[in-house]
Amino acid sequence: MDFQFEKRHALLSIGIGILILAPIVMIILPKYIVEYLYLYNSQTAMFVLLPSGTRILYLIAFVLSGVAFILMSLWKNKKMLGVGLASLLLSIILLFFSTLPYISIGYDGIHFREVLSVKEHRYQWEDIEEVLRYSDYNGPGFYGYEVIFHDGKKLRLADNKDFNHARGMFLKGIRGLELEIKVID
């Protein structure tokens, strides 16, 4: 038997494969990338966390790339191919921006970059003005810490399984400043 595949069948299978694997990859890939980029290449960072919204950005980028391959496989005219290539380019740009956000907690302080931002914020432990603890665990509100810096910038750290590893370093840095953590119910 002679199997002959068209290019569009290959593109269609790549697109469907990306869409099927995207939810599975979202469990491992974002955390691995942020650790590789910001933890292993730093001398002072002890823990790296993902800001909220980062996984959603990764998921949008992967779904958009899967849709781009499917659109390119269904092309009948140049317009459909152009839309597919444009969505592939947009997914690459989104994938780039999804690798940028991080929260690093280390010996020298807290460093972070917000979602869809290229500006990096670096704060020493002495730059922290106030720490609030939100304890609405069973309610609809936020459960975690909010760090307010001297320049007015705020950082929210959700108290979840990722933060459990970094909590000791975070609280050690706060206690070193002799700041009181205000609990808000």
What residue spans define the domains of the chain? 7-98, 119-184
Q: What pLDDT, on a 0 to 100 scale, did the predictor assign at position 85?
A: 94
Give one word for 160, left, alpha or beta, with left for phi > 0 and alpha for psi -120 to 50. beta
Split at pLDDT 50, 70, 90, the class of 152 is very high
User: CA-CA distance, 72 to 173, in Å (whole number)?
Assistant: 52
Label residue 44 exposed, middle or buried (CB < 10 Å: 0-12, 13-18, 19+): exposed
| Distance of alpha carbon 74 from the chain centroid | 32
Helix, strand or coil, per DSSP, at residue 31:
helix
CA dist list (Å): 14 to 52, 110, 127: 29, 40, 48
pTM for the model: 0.86
pLDDT digit string (tens) for 48-71?
A: 999 989 999 999 999 999 999 999
Split at pLDDT 50, 70, 90, the class of 172 is very high
How much is the mean pLDDT over the chain? 90
Q: Is the pLDDT of residue 119 over 80?
A: yes
Domain 119-184: assigned CATH number: 3.30.720
Q: What pLDDT, on a 0 to 100 scale, did the predictor assign at position 86?
A: 95
Q: Is the pLDDT of residue 123 over 80?
A: yes
Question: In this prediction, what percent of the chain has a pLDDT beyond 70?
Answer: 95
